[in-house]
Amino acid sequence: MYPYKIEGKQISISDSIQTNYEIDNFIKPYREHIFKDLDSVLAYSANTYSKTDGEFNTAIGNFMADAIYDQVNPVFKARTGKDIDMVILNHGGIRSIISKGNITTKTAFELMPFENTLVVVALKGTQIDSLVSYLCRSKKAHPISKLKLTIDKDFKVIDATIKGNKIDDSKTYYVTTNDFLYNGGDNMTFFKPNDSLYDLNYKIRNVLIDYFKKVDTISPVIDDRFIQIK
Q: Are 63 and 87 in contact (CB under 8 A)?
A: no
Range in 26-30, 40-44, 62-66, 222-226 with the lowest mean pLDDT: 26-30
pLDDT digits (tens, 9 = 90+) for 17-36: 777 777 777 766 666 666 66
DSSP state of 18: P
Q: Which CATH number fits domain 42-228: 3.90.780.10, 3.40.50.1820, 3.30.360.10, 3.90.1150.10?
A: 3.90.780.10
Q: What is the pLDDT of residues 91-137, one digit of tens each?
A: 999 999 999 999 999 999 999 999 999 999 999 999 999 999 999 99
Considering Cα of 90, then 95, then 101, then 105, what sign does the dihedral take? negative
Q: What is the pLDDT of residue 62?
A: 98
Average pLDDT over residues 183-190: 96
Q: What is the pLDDT of residues 51-90, one digit of tens each?
A: 999 999 999 999 999 999 999 999 999 999 999 999 999 9
Q: Could you state, in order of their start, the residue ranges of all structural domains in the chain? A: 42-228
Reduced to 3 states (helix: H, G, I; strand: E, B; else coil), residue 145 is strand
Tell me the pLDDT band of 221, cut-offs 50, 70 and 90: very high
Alpha-carbon span 199 to 30, nearest angstrom? 32
Residue 12, pLDDT score? 76
DSSP structure string for 155-172: S-EEEEEETTEE--TTSE
> Whole-angstrom Cα distance, residue 155 to residue 217?
35
* pTM of the complete model: 0.86
pLDDT at 6: 79
**Residue 5 — pLDDT band, cuts 50, 70, 90?**
confident
Q: What is the pLDDT of residue 90?
A: 97
The CA distances from residue 51 to 93, 97, 138, in Å, are 10, 7, 15
Helix (H) or strand (E) holding 101: strand 101-104
Handedness of CA 93, 99, 100, 104 (dihedral sign): negative
Tell me whether the omega of the peptide bond preceding residue 193 falls within 30 degrees of 0, making it cis: yes
